[in-house]
Amino acid sequence: MSNPTQNYNVIAIGAGAAGLITTAAIAGLGGRAALIERHKMGGDCLNSGCVPSKGLIASARLVQRLREAKKWGLAEHEPRFDLQEVFASMRGRRAAIAPNDSVERYQSLGVDVFQGEAKFLSPHEVEVDGQRLHGRFIVIAAGSRAAVPPIEGLGDVPYFTNETIFDQLKPTPKSLIVLGGGPIGCELSQVFQRLGVQVQVVEFAPQILIREDPEVSALLRARLEHEGVIFHTGMKGVRAALRGDGAGVALTLAPATGEGPTRVIEADALLVAAGRIPNVESLNLEAAGVRYSKKGVEVNRFLQTSRPHIFAGGDIAGGYQFTHVADMHARVIVENIIRSMIPPLRWLGKLTPADTSVLPWCTYTGPEVARVGLNETEAKKAGVPHAIFKQELAHVDRFILERETEGFVKVVAEPGTGRILGATIVGEGAGELIHEFTLAMKHGLTLGQIAATIHAYPSHSEAVRRVGDAFNRTRLTPGKKAFLQKLFAWNPAR
């Protein structure tokens, strides 16, 4: 534990992305910063989220490529591996990243780190393990945890969440039920299926990845089913019990509509991936006068709570629960803390808003599903005038050469102008390609301007440029075409 200093410019509660970035920035700018963490440094992302899941995805991708080696002209064979060794390799990669978020590193940056439970005593005071800390500004970044649905008997059977499965999955199961068909459920169901575990996915909604267009969901579902995953969509778990042999789980399913017969599915293990809830209960927010609900701490567009000197960022602030959103929140909070210390800016309320109008995200399945802005379903529902421009990856040379032709680029654009309203990419490396559209949307570039930009050949990003080409073809109106035909007639070939 650090040597405590009683008074701080900034106290951050939670050592996930928002708390880490905030305190490092404040200390780097000459402020006195304290960071409180009750569990592990790095928060959910490092320990039980992005980092371990992507480590497993990398291994599972290689296993699948070996199975499909014939596509590359190689001898097809079933790869040999041990699931526990794959997990150990993932933990090794996680351990290589962990020092970036360690107590030692943050102490070296000038941040006082306290490991224990934080509780508000007043609007400016926080207690951690009996030590009182006073903060001119306080940042609530306590994150979220896995939600556990109210299923009868669930508390009496063993189950995993993302917080336990990466370190406690022993022995290796032969079968797994995944409760939830969102990004976490889809990513991990494919990982385990590729690593030799028979997976069944239960999803309350009629489709997986409910935020995405139906054709996106259908394409990914077909791919996962081809690999062996079994889906139960439009179903909910109503009762859990030990399997007959006492070593596994039996889950009774009922239609989400409440009408129709029930069925029972069984597996060696159960993974609950049914959403997340904010960690608000133990903070004693009432003592600080901070308003909150079951959705998290209430904040304004500047990320201030009901107490202007107390900010909230990351998952606990509600909204999108992504590490890159927590990163953005921290940068906004630091800027607004500095602005709040400058009297003219404070008096005039000149603070910086947190802007998520151009927000990319990606589900790291194979193929990946990446998105920014509106999709076609949302544009239609909102009644937004739009045009759709689509490029199938099967007609892009680099994807053909890489034997990864499944997927497409689909852009929702303003008719006539080519202003980009949103984009969805399904395909290998979609999480990288989406940033060209993100940058274009952020700075007002159009599909026509993307088409006018030279893209290296052969590259995956040609798929992006070709969507721009598709827009340009719509600009060739019948009148323009007739004029060009006459122009060529007036200038005949000699």
Region of 228 (left: φ > 0; alpha: ψ -120 to 50; beta: rest) is left
Q: How far is CA 418 from CA 15, 128, 408, 489, in A?
A: 42, 54, 19, 31
111-115/33-37 β-pairing? parallel
pLDDT score for 387: 97
The CATH number of 154-275 is 3.50.50.60
Per-residue model confidence as pLDDT tens digits over 10-39: 999 999 999 999 999 999 999 999 999 999
Neighbours of 349 (CB within 10 A): 10
pLDDT at 99 over 60: yes
Per-residue model confidence as pLDDT tens digits over 37-94: 999 999 999 999 999 999 999 999 999 999 999 999 999 888 999 999 999 999 999 9
First-to-final CA distance of the chain: 87
Per-residue model confidence as pLDDT tens digits over 162-188: 999 999 999 999 999 999 999 999 999
**Which pairs with CB-CB distance under 8 Å and at least 24 residues apart come from 258-265?**
262/238, 265/177, 265/200, 265/202, 265/232
Tokens of 342: 């400058």
Spacing of C-alpha 6 from chain mean position: 37
Per-residue model confidence as pLDDT tens digits over 345-396: 776 778 999 999 999 999 999 999 999 999 999 999 999 999 999 999 999 9
Question: Is residue 386 within 8 Å of 413, Cβ to Cβ?
Answer: yes
Q: How confident is the model at residue 6 (pLDDT cuts 50, 70, 90)?
A: confident
Give the architecture (CATH level 2) of 7-41+102-144+277-348.
Answer: 3-Layer(bba) Sandwich (3.50)
Alpha carbon distance 487, 490 (integer Å): 5
AA letter at 462: E
The pLDDT mean for the chain works out to: 95
pLDDT at 2 over 70: no
pLDDT at 156 over 80: yes
From the options 3.40.50.2300, 3.90.1150.10, 1.20.1440.230, 3.30.390.30, give the CATH code of 360-474.
Answer: 3.30.390.30
pLDDT at 112 over 90: yes
Domains 7-41+102-144+277-348 and 360-474 are alike in CATH topology: no
Percent of the chain topping pLDDT 90: 91
Tokens of 371: 């998105």
Neighbours of 171 (CB within 10 A): 9
Among candidate residues 22, 23, 13, the one with its CA nearest the CA of residue 128:
13
Largest Cα–Cα distance in the chain?
93
* pTM, to two decimals: 0.94
AA letter at 383: G
pLDDT score for 3: 52
According to the 3-state scheme, what is the secondary structure of the chain? CCCCCCEEEEEEECCCHHHHHHHHHHHHCCCCEEEEECCCCCHHHHHHCHHHHHHHHHHHHHHHHHHCHHHHCCCCCCCCCCHHHHHHHHHHHHHHHHHHHCHHHHHHCCEEEEECCEEEEECCEEEECCEEEEEEEEEECCCEEECCCCCECHHHCCCECCCCHHHHCCCCCCEEEEECCCHHHHHHHHHHHHCCCEEEEEECCCCCCCCCCHHHHHHHHHHHHHHCCEEEECEEEEEEEECCCCCCEEEEEEECCCCCCCEEEEECEEEECCCEEECCHHHCHHHHCCCEECCEECCCCCCECCCCCEEECHHHHCCCCCHHHHHHHHHHHHHHHHHHCCHHHHHHCCCCCCCCCCCEEEECCCCEEEEEECCHHHHHHHCCCCEEEEEEHHHCHHHHHCCCCCCEEEEEECCCCCEEEEEEEEECCHHHHHHHHHHHHHCCCEHHHHHCCCCCCCCCCHHHHHHHHHHHHHCCCHHHHHHHHHHHHHCCCC
Domain ranges in the chain are 7-41+102-144+277-348, 154-275, 360-474
